[in-house]
Chain A
Amino acid sequence: MKKNKRVYIGLAVIVFAMSLLLIGGFDGETMVYNYTVKEILDKSESEPLNRGYRVGGRVIPGTVVKNDEEISVVFEIRDIQTQGYVLKVTYEGILPDTFKEDQDVLIEGNYVGNKTIHATKIMTKCASKYEAKY
């Protein structure tokens, strides 16, 4: 019976260690808030620059300018719900295949002031025909 207790203690230690890992994961560095364009523009007044954000918006048609020499791209996104809020996105890298104008994208990057975010990652909501609507 006494020996059996050791098994339970061993298991308890493991469960405890895993809970610590799980809780320790929520340190704000590994979890990112999703902002809207409006929120980020309102917030950037008071917040320090160069902080990491993740922001969702819709690509404004006609604003996408690619520079193939430097493999960089600049475009603008607007708030999905509210008109009039526009954020400029700069990105060095290759746009995902699914990137399209007038489509919702998720940008991860640093706000560098002047209504501009420097993206480190661009994600698209899949505009595929997994589920087409008629």
Chain B
Amino acid sequence: MPADFGYIILILAFVSSIYATFSSLYGGYTKNSAMVFSGQRAVVAAFLFVTLAIVGVELNLLANDFRFHYVASYSSIALPLFYKLTTIWAGQAGSLLFWGWILSIYSVLVLYFYRKDYNHEMPFVMGILMSVLVFFTAMVVFAASPFELLAHPPADGRGLNPLLQHPAMAIHPPILYIGYVGFAVPFAFGLGALLSNRLDSRWVKTVRRWTVVPWLFLGIGIMLGGKWAYEELGWGGYWAWDPVENAAFMPWLTGTAFLHSIMIQEKKDILKIWNMVLIILTFTLSIFGTFLTRSGVISSVHSFTASSIGPLFFSYVCAVLIVSLAIMFWNMDQLRSESRIENLVSRESSFLINNVIFVGLCFAVLWGTVFPVISEAVRGIKISVGPPWFNSVNVPIFLALLLLTGIGPLIAWRKASSDYLKRIFFVPAIAGIITAIVLAIFGVTKAYALISFSLSAFVLATIFAEFNRGALARMKAHSESYFPAMLHLLQRNKRRYGGYIVHFAIVLIFIGVTGSAFDQDIKLSLKEGHSDTIGRYEIVYTGFETSRDAHKEVLQANVLLKINGKNVKTLHPQRHFYFANEQPTTEVSVYNTFAEDLYVVLNTVDQETKSASFEIFVKPLVIWVWIGGVMLAIGTIIALLPNKKEIEIKPVRKEKAEEEMVTT
């Protein structure tokens, strides 16, 4: 697409989003339906223009048109087609445009589904979504255009960093963005409800699915990032409390809190202010997350070189927070609830505690992330806050959350009697205690790990007991046998039991992460045919080979893995040397079992002596993190599916039925 044409389209997208913002908001205030309608058409126009711009950038990438700065910087002739297409989100200008595009898609979808049902709120919802689009289109028009031309076009582009040429990494950014951007919808609905004076719990019900979806995508994005780090970076870990990881984790935390507390508002009509604050925070943190990854303010392994968009972005983050909080305070008296939480030992209060801890955790992560910047700016002292700090502060908080995962969903509404508590929690508590004792006998002495495993057993037991109770009740009522009863239970109450599956997944992730307390690693240098041992593994280095293709030279070591003298597997750790790039990349080779991973990193092979050096990690229970991630997605999707009842009769009935189930 010619540069001038591209620019014109970007400007048109920018102008349409400005028009959509003002026409919608003004039309909403003056109840002028012609203006509102005109604003809605501008929303669609903005979507079409941004889509066209995306198509334009993709065409430039496919055509290897290196006159464009963006194409020359991130693509090259040799780059495989798939990565050419994904290059749109590899760089700053493309990412910002892509962000705007997802936002415009969400806006059009919301408009399509709810313009009739929510005709009072919709002008404000659209006005807010479009005001966000104004910022992102302004960025690509004025600060970082993907259609910028080079004075001296090179013959070939620089290509995509080989580290990023990995399927998980190629789809990681858009998945994260679908998450980040998606929180704009509940945010816009919240403020829209405020501005249109419609603060019953209706918007909260509608917005649940629109929060769960971005929450799921953000979660999957975080998991994929971890998986990529584990397989590609070769340092044997998947999470390092890196600012860019934290950037995605923070809105996920407040989003999780929001998802829980809107259940309370839905059923009890309380916590209205708190929910509003949570969704404002979640969206602000989403923008802040984009800012952290895109501005390079905080140096990290991901750090993008300091860019001009930093100050603009930061001002925008502040503006979003201040304006939305101001809107909230102006309408504060609408938000007051009639009823209140009556008892400390109740579902309401345990959810509130969960919320406070989630927000506290998020604050701790935020504090650790920005502290180096604040310290340097205020005191001129450069400080690093690394994993030891995050772990020492966050691990106890995580454990408290794990405990609540078991307690929260089971405890009764309003007031839980001590008889009830005993009945529900006796067996799980015993399970937790026995787990701790057994592990201690088998020599697990690390306190946090013991607590974590014990709490995991407790929570698993509560979840199994819930499924069991439900299935038994159904067996009696419908004369079904056990497993069909359990299946029907799930089908009838997808939201509730899907939620339990999500909790189950979280426990699996906890178990996997706790395994890292028992990591071992060694550095080895082996002559051909020689071996060494780590843990129960014998590692035999049998030789190396080299090969080359059009882009790279590959050095591969062959390692035979033995357990108790038996051959188990041949591993092939590699190092890749790309011709276009001096930076070699590590291809680790991993032997996975449910108990532990053996993770082999090849360092070098001495061409003369033929001896090879390795770094080898034994990583207990890692696989459960990934299994947990998959379960998380499955559980969330189940919880999103409509219940049969919900289709047949009104949703209100379902809530009642669900509540009855809880108390039985």
Q: Which residues of A line the B interface, CB within 8 A?
A: 3-4, 6-7, 9-11, 14-15, 18, 21-22, 24-25, 29-35, 54, 56, 66, 68-71, 92-94, 96-98, 100, 106, 123-134
Contact = CB atoms under 8 A, between A and B. Distances in A.
Nearest to A33: B383
A134 B604 CA distance: 33
A97 B577 CA distance: 10
A9 B343 CA distance: 11
24 contacts: A3-B343, A11-B352, A11-B356, A21-B393, A25-B389, A29-B388, A30-B392, A33-B382, A68-B605, A68-B611, A69-B525, A69-B609, A70-B525, A71-B613, A92-B523, A93-B523, A93-B615, A94-B613, A124-B301, A129-B161, A130-B305, A133-B305, A134-B72, A134-B150
A11 B351 CA distance: 11
B603 A68 contact: yes
Contacts of B393: 21-22, 24-25
Contacts of A129: 73-74, 158-161
A6 B582 CA distance: 63
Contact of B584 (A6, A97, A106, A130): A97
B333 to A, nearest CB: 20
Contacts of B305: 130-131, 133
Interface in B338-384: 340-344, 349, 352-353, 356-357, 360, 363-364, 367-368, 371-372, 381-384
B651 interface: no
Which of B296, B583, B585 gathers the greatest number of chain A CB atoms within 10 Å?
B583
A64 B488 CA distance: 65
B273 interface: no
B382 A128 contact: no
Contact of B161 (A24, A29, A54, A130): A130
A124 B163 CA distance: 14
Nearest to B305: A131
A30 to B, nearest CB: 4
A134 B584 contact: no
A125 B389 CA distance: 21
Contacts of A9: 344
A94 B233 contact: no
A108 B354 CA distance: 37
A32 B400 CA distance: 27
Nearest to A18: B360
A125 B584 CA distance: 15
A17 to B, nearest CB: 8
A69 B223 CA distance: 36
A127 B301 CA distance: 9
A128 B212 CA distance: 34
> Taking chain B's interface residues, is the majority helix, strand, or loop, or is none over half, making it mixed?
mixed
A28 B565 CA distance: 47
B310 interface: no
B525 A6 contact: no
A71 B209 CA distance: 52
Nearest to A19: B360
A10 B615 contact: no
Given A69-B611, A97-B163, A7 B523 contact: no
Nearest to B580: A129
Interface string B383-416: 1111011001100110010000000000000000
A124 B235 CA distance: 13
A54 B383 CA distance: 9
Contacts of A54: 384
A58 B363 CA distance: 34
A28 to B, nearest CB: 10
B90 interface: yes
Contact of A100 (B299, B385, B582): B582
Given A7-B352, A11-B353, A22-B393, A125 B367 contact: no
B360 A14 contact: yes
B613 A18 contact: no
A97 B234 contact: yes
Contacts of A134: 69, 72-73, 150
B396 A21 contact: yes
B492 to A, nearest CB: 33
B149 to A, nearest CB: 11
B553 to A, nearest CB: 15
B228 to A, nearest CB: 13
Interface in B118-170: 150, 158-161, 163-164
A33 B375 CA distance: 10
A42 B353 CA distance: 50
Nearest to B393: A25
A84 B158 CA distance: 34
B37 interface: no
Contacts of B525: 68-71
Contacts of B344: 3, 6-7, 9-10
Contacts of B385: 30-31
A15 B583 contact: no
Nearest to B523: A71
A66 B603 CA distance: 11
B239 interface: no
B603 to A, nearest CB: 4
A59 to B, nearest CB: 13
